[in-house]
Amino acid sequence: MNLEHINGLKTLLSLPKKIAIIPHKNPDGDAIGSTLALCQYLKNKGHEATVVAPNDFPKFLKWMPGAETILNFEKENSQAKSVLENAEVIFTLDFNHLGRVGQMTPFLESASATFVMVDHHQAPADYAKIMYSDVSMSSTCEMVYHLLDYLGAVEEITSDMANCIYTGIMTDTGSFKFKATTSTTHRIIADLIDKGAQNTAIHHRIYDTNSPSRLHLLGCALKNMVILEEYNTTYITLSQDELDKYNYSKGDTEGFVNYGLTLDNIRFAVIFIENKEEGILKISLRSVGDFSVNDFSRQFFHGGGHTNAAGGKSDLSIPETTKYFESLLPQFKKELTQ
């Protein structure tokens, strides 16, 4: 974050403000952790701050300190709208273009507030007056820690905030194993533990909360896995009928896409998940090495993200989408196999 933006933020926050803090649609651990930690900090400084999420988030994140105060734009619509309308400052965290907030998009586009972006995805849009965008960062939660450092507020991190920030760094780094995990990330993690982050409990609450139906759904997903050895690629499909059969609830498919990458030689793994209500397939894409799933998703599936982890969507059926997907692979054969 450059000095101009740091000073701009200091000035912006020098008097108590009405503030809305927004994570992306289908918020994950990083989105919820970063918004809650920042919200807590701003409240402690005397601001009136509220997290407004575009929609609901998974059960395995509901224990997070402050999670019960998050407004759900879909379910608490009038309250959420009034927070957005009255906000003097809007922080957008863990996303970087206004198309990522579902039905909230027009309300953010017409808001009169000053926007602040904190995000680590590629290709940021330019709606924010104050921008902290860094694609080298492991997570938005790590950026919130740096942001607090820039504001001279690291010693104001409470144990609740430390638990939130720890969670987001942990989930976005695949428990500290992805490439963006640096020695600085680990130093921050150490400091967060010193400040009260309950690391063992957090791992347990996020990863050891399987239900029998989720494990059965995982079995179904793995059975459906298609392996395209010629392209070092695998994909999984899950239809709405299959999700219904195994009592799908939000968050149940989290992490399924990663199983593909555990196969020897596989460099590209994708999952296509049908959502009948929205009339789309939600797509998650993962890679190892230089093959950019961000570019691939941006080009073919209306999405984006990071080099090795991205999302997207398709308006076609599962068979049409997988046929289209397979038809795209030959042009990337060299990249995927050399």
CB 224 within 8 A of CB 217: no
Binding to Mn ion, residues 136-165 (CB under 5 A): 140
Stretch that binds ligand 5GP, among 40-48, 81-89, 109-117, 298-306 (CB under 6 A): 298-306
Binding to ligand 5GP, residues 201-230 (CB under 6 A): none
Site string for ligand 5GP, 19-48 (x = CB under 6 A): -----x------------------------
Could you give the 3-state DSSP secondary structure of residue 180?
A: coil
Return d(Cα 86, Cα 79) in angstroms, integer.
Answer: 11
Residue 120 Cβ, how far from Mn ion at the closest point, in Å? 6
Instruction: Tell me: does residue 66 bind ligand 5GP (CB under 6 A).
Output: no
Report which of 127, 53, 134 is spatially closest to residue 97, judged by C-alpha positions.
Answer: 127
Residue 58 vs 312, nearer CB to ligand 5GP: 312
Instruction: Tell me: does residue 172 bind Mn ion (CB under 5 A).
Output: yes
Pick one of ligand 5GP, Mn ion, none as the site partner of residue 271 (Cβ within 5 to 8 A by kind). Answer: none
Beta strand 71-72 with 89-93: parallel, antiparallel or unpaired?
unpaired
Beta strand 280-287 with 309-314: parallel, antiparallel or unpaired?
antiparallel
Return d(Cα 57, Cα 217) in angstroms, integer.
Answer: 19
Instruction: Tell me: does residue 309 bind ligand 5GP (CB under 6 A).
Output: yes
Of positions 50, 284, 308, 314, contacts ligand 5GP by CB under 6 A:
284
How many helices (H) and strands (E) in the chain? Answer: 14, 12
Q: At what angle do helices 3-12 and 140-150 cross, to 10 degrees?
A: 80
Instruction: Tell me: does residue 310 bind ligand 5GP (CB under 6 A).
Output: yes
Q: Which residue is nearest to ligand 5GP (CB)?
A: 311
Stretch that binds ligand 5GP, among 7-15, 154-162, 229-237, 307-315 (CB under 6 A): 307-315
Cβ neighbours for 94, distance < 8 A, ≥ 6 positions apart: 23, 24, 27, 28, 30, 31, 34, 35, 118, 119, 120, 121, 140
Instruction: Tell me: does residue 30 bind Mn ion (CB under 5 A).
Output: yes
Q: What are the C-alpha distances in Å from 224 to residues 23, 139, 270, 331?
A: 32, 31, 12, 25
Pick one of ligand 5GP, Mn ion, none as the site partner of residue 284 (Cβ within 5 to 8 A by kind). Answer: ligand 5GP
Of positions 26, 51, 52, 94, contacts Mn ion by CB under 5 A:
94
Instruction: Tell me: does residue 119 bind Mn ion (CB under 5 A).
Output: no
Pick one of Mn ion, ligand 5GP, none as the site partner of residue 305 (Cβ within 5 to 8 A by kind). Answer: ligand 5GP
Residue 190 Cβ, how far from ligand 5GP at the closest point, in Å? 25
Can you read off the two tokens belonging to residue 251? 């968050």
> By the criterion CB under 6 A, which residues form the site for ligand 5GP?
24, 100, 121, 284, 303-306, 309-313
